Chain A
Amino acid sequence: MPQQSPSDSTLFEKVWQRHLVRDESAETPAILYIDLHLLHEVTTPQAFTELNKRGLRVRRPDRCLATIDHSVPTSAPDADGKRHYVTGQARAQVETVQRNCEEHGIVLHGWDSPNRGIVHVIGPELGATQPGMTIVCGDSHTSTHGAFGALAFGIGTTEVGHVLASQCLLQRKPKTLGIRIEGELAPGVTAKDVILHIIGNIGIDGGTGSVIEYYGSTVRAMDMDSRMTLCNMSIECGARAGMVAPDDTTFDYLHGRPMAPQGADWDAAVTDWKTLKTDPGAAYDAHVDIDATHIRSLVTYGTHPGMVVAIDEAIPSGESAESTADALEYMGFQAGKSLEGEPVDVVFIGSCTNSRLSDLRAAASIMKNRKVADGLRVLVVPGSEQVRRAAEAEGLDRVFTEAGAQWREAGCSMCIAMNGDIAAPGKLVVSTSNRNFRGRQGPLSRTILASPLTAAACAITGKVSSPQQFLEADND
């Protein structure tokens, strides 16, 4: 690959430069080439309709990868092999993406694929997500793939159509925000707590217009699953994308995956990927320092992901008192009180934030040989069918079911609650997903975001609880 990078540039700039079909000017945005286009059933039908209406073909079906995840049931098929969709419309949506992919020669990981799963889980798992790529998807959590040093971001359906037809996107060059995270995490504190801490710190619009690069010793020490959790929620502070420079952890993860380069191509790729890092002299447009040693297990108390507290910490009355009061009224919580001990109705462990094997292992480490609290509904939903098989091979499914939790098939499930996995009005859900917006998990449902360890602790006690008590008990 040609080296265009001038001596001092950021990781983002290097990836950006390599993909410029045409640079931006005052009048026109840049035309950016897209290496990988991920597709799912919800945000693509209208784009294909438009393409067909214009008589256009998909330019590079080989650069597309599709799955079904949002509208699909996560219950097993019935005895006749029939899947029970929440509505006929949900079924029709899945059938539409199947038909569109077939007509345009796009590989779809549908019901018959052993690799089906949440779009942001299967891309990395298959090795389709690689350092230095540009990756888009009609989905805001596309930022997940930035964990590999790719420039990955969500787009709307009109833009899905642009990429299908041209493999390109019109883009204004975003700004960069460097977030340096230093220090060792306390026991039981995870990447989820780190990103909640960051969003709470810089605010839910703190990253607007920017691509974040996460770096520092804490990030280096994270495995790929954790880096994906970190990048996944970049959008929750308004950032266009999150990125981590690739290193040996990245290469080890990708090595041997089916869509990753093989043999001599692999060696050449790694040599190139090693250049994908921010040069010492390069500057970000803005910069934030995070001391990771002080981060504790966090939960959200309000109706957006920036409203975070430690589990035993009092809920603040907030800067803009009015909207905090409004959020607290919706949640039924009180400023000045902590959430610890608050009775929980549902626990959801899943979503593209926290449904990979290490997340399930973490939850299982607490639920092993314990029982879910009486009356509590607990759903464990693996991010992909591959994750499901791997978890079952380790016996994690039995840990969950013996504890009294439901073990389901892969999908978005209660993260977006559009497939029938839904919390009833007023119910309080502790969820490992990424959004606690009003009604996100069902009309009038209430969501507390937390790590898989915290969610598992809540599942056992039936109340908002810290995972540390269980870690200590298990170490005794």
Chain B
Amino acid sequence: MTEQSRNSAAVIHSHTYNIPLDNIDTDQIIPAQFLTTTEREGLGKFCFYGWRFNADGTAKENNPLHDHRPDRQQVLVTGSNFGCGSSREHAPWALLDYGIRAVISSRFADIFCNNSLKNGLIPVTAEEQVIEYLHKHPDSMVSIDIGARQLTIRDYGTFEFPLDPFSVFCLTREIDQLDFILQNEQEISAHEQRYGK
């Protein structure tokens, strides 16, 4: 709604954090047991919980996910069809709080993509071969220019990626989407009258 965590900086410079798996669903990003919260803050500690912790809450040993460096690695590189499953907006909330500002995948699930953009988490769709390169070179330095819709990978190349122009507009100009809808009050009322409701 307020797009609270919106990126004021239109360019993200960061190293990558890699999870080379396809079809990571929102139950993996944040398991249902943490959904009884009525807040949107502080969910980062539950991000990828089932992969980082045992059923008894102790940390899993030798798990590469524990090596995530949020100060340095703010771009997640993953497999295809990221964010499938449940519509829980807790997934982008958890990722952002975990320190992720953009995700690079070859394909995103619809609702996840929508939810992410509303919170300023940038879904960057890239070709399979680009993803492959990034997985072969973990911790690569990348720049994501949201306004120009460009992904630059140091020592590799620059690629355009698709991003809904309206979302770019809102993200870069700090336009609030609800305000945008409410500006159409007359049309909304006219619609209600036309359909006699």
**A338 contacts partner chain B, Cβ-Cβ < 8 Å:** no
Q: Is the CB of B181 within 8 A of A140?
A: no
**A168 contacts partner chain B, Cβ-Cβ < 8 Å:** yes
A-side contacts of B2, CB under 8 Å: 50
A-side contacts of B88, CB under 8 Å: 42-43, 156
Q: Is the CB of A140 within 8 A of B81?
A: no
Q: Is the CB of B87 within 8 A of A439?
A: no
Given contacts A140-B111, A418-B32, is CB(A31)–CB(B118) below 8 Å? no
Q: Is the CB of B184 within 8 A of A155?
A: no
**B21 contacts partner chain A, Cβ-Cβ < 8 Å:** yes
Which of A92, A238, A439 interacts with B50 by CB under 8 Å? A439
A449 to B149, CA, bound (A): 40
Interface size on B, residues (CB 8 A): 55
Q: Is the CB of B181 within 8 A of A1?
A: no
Q: What is the predominant secondary structure among interface residues of chain A facing chain B?
A: loop
Given contacts A42-B35, A208-B109, A240-B110, is CB(A444)–CB(B55) below 8 Å? yes
**B61 contacts partner chain A, Cβ-Cβ < 8 Å:** no
**A438 contacts partner chain B, Cβ-Cβ < 8 Å:** yes
Report the minimum CB–CB distance from A175 to chain B (whole Å). Answer: 11
A381 to B194, CA, bound (A): 43
Given contacts A89-B37, A162-B177, is CB(A416)–CB(B32) below 8 Å? yes
Given contacts A204-B81, A323-B21, is CB(A166)–CB(B182) below 8 Å? yes
Q: Is the CB of A2 within 8 A of B194?
A: yes
Residue from A2, A86, A166, A444 whose CB has the most chain B CB atoms within 10 Å: A166
Q: Is the CB of A21 within 8 A of B1?
A: no
A27 to B169, CA, bound (A): 9
Report the minimum CB–CB distance from B28 to chain A (whole Å). Answer: 6
Which of A156, A167, A439 interacts with B111 by CB under 8 Å? A156
**A87 contacts partner chain B, Cβ-Cβ < 8 Å:** yes
**B31 contacts partner chain A, Cβ-Cβ < 8 Å:** yes
A-side contacts of B169, CB under 8 Å: 27
Q: Is the CB of B178 within 8 A of A162?
A: yes
A304 to B178, CA, bound (A): 35
**B158 contacts partner chain A, Cβ-Cβ < 8 Å:** no
Given contacts A21-B187, A166-B181, is CB(A156)–CB(B109) below 8 Å? no
How many of chain A's residues touch chain B, expressed as a range? 35 or more
A-side contacts of B182, CB under 8 Å: 165-166
**A5 contacts partner chain B, Cβ-Cβ < 8 Å:** no
Given contacts A205-B107, A439-B31, is CB(A167)–CB(B188) below 8 Å? yes
B-side contacts of A217, CB under 8 Å: none
A439 to B29, CA, bound (A): 12
A22 to B188, CA, bound (A): 9
0 or 1 for each of A315-336: is its CB under 8 Å from B? (1 = yes): 0000010010010000000000
Q: Is the CB of B23 within 8 A of A323?
A: yes
Question: Considering the complex, which residues of chain A in the window 1-33 have a beta carbon less than 8 Å from any beta carbon of chain B?
Answer: 1-2, 18-19, 21-22, 26-29, 31, 33
Question: Considering the complex, which residues of chain B in the window 146-197 have a beta carbon less than 8 Å from any beta carbon of chain A?
Answer: 164-166, 169, 177-178, 180-182, 184, 187-188, 191-192, 194-197
0 or 1 for each of A200-213: is its CB under 8 Å from B? (1 = yes): 00001100110000
Q: Is the CB of A418 within 8 A of B181?
A: no
Report the minimum CB–CB distance from B97 to chain A (whole Å). Answer: 13
Q: Is the CB of B31 within 8 A of A155?
A: no
A172 to B164, CA, bound (A): 9
B-side contacts of A240, CB under 8 Å: 110
Report the minimum CB–CB distance from B106 to chain A (whole Å). Answer: 10
A21 to B85, CA, bound (A): 29
Report the minimum CB–CB distance from B68 to chain A (whole Å). Answer: 19
A71 to B35, CA, bound (A): 9
Q: Is the CB of A157 within 8 A of B89?
A: yes
B-side contacts of A140, CB under 8 Å: 85-87, 111
0 or 1 for each of A414-435: is its CB under 8 Å from B? (1 = yes): 0011100000010000000001
**A188 contacts partner chain B, Cβ-Cβ < 8 Å:** no
Question: Considering the complex, which residues of chain B in the window 67-84 have a beta carbon less than 8 Å from any beta carbon of chain A?
Answer: 79-81, 84
Q: Is the CB of B35 within 8 A of A156?
A: no
Please, could you name 27 A-B residue pairs with CB atoms under 8 Å apart, sorted by A?
Answer: A19-B191, A21-B184, A27-B166, A27-B169, A31-B187, A33-B195, A42-B88, A43-B88, A43-B89, A92-B36, A93-B37, A138-B89, A139-B86, A157-B89, A157-B115, A158-B177, A162-B1, A165-B181, A167-B192, A170-B166, A204-B23, A235-B85, A304-B23, A323-B23, A418-B35, A435-B86, A443-B50
Besides the contacts A157-B40, A158-B177, A439-B27, what 9 more A-B pairs have beta carbons closer than 8 Å?
A29-B166, A43-B87, A47-B1, A140-B86, A158-B115, A159-B114, A205-B81, A238-B84, A418-B33
A-B pairs, top 8 by smallest CB distance, nearest first, are A45-B38, A156-B115, A156-B89, A161-B1, A154-B87, A50-B1, A140-B87, A157-B89
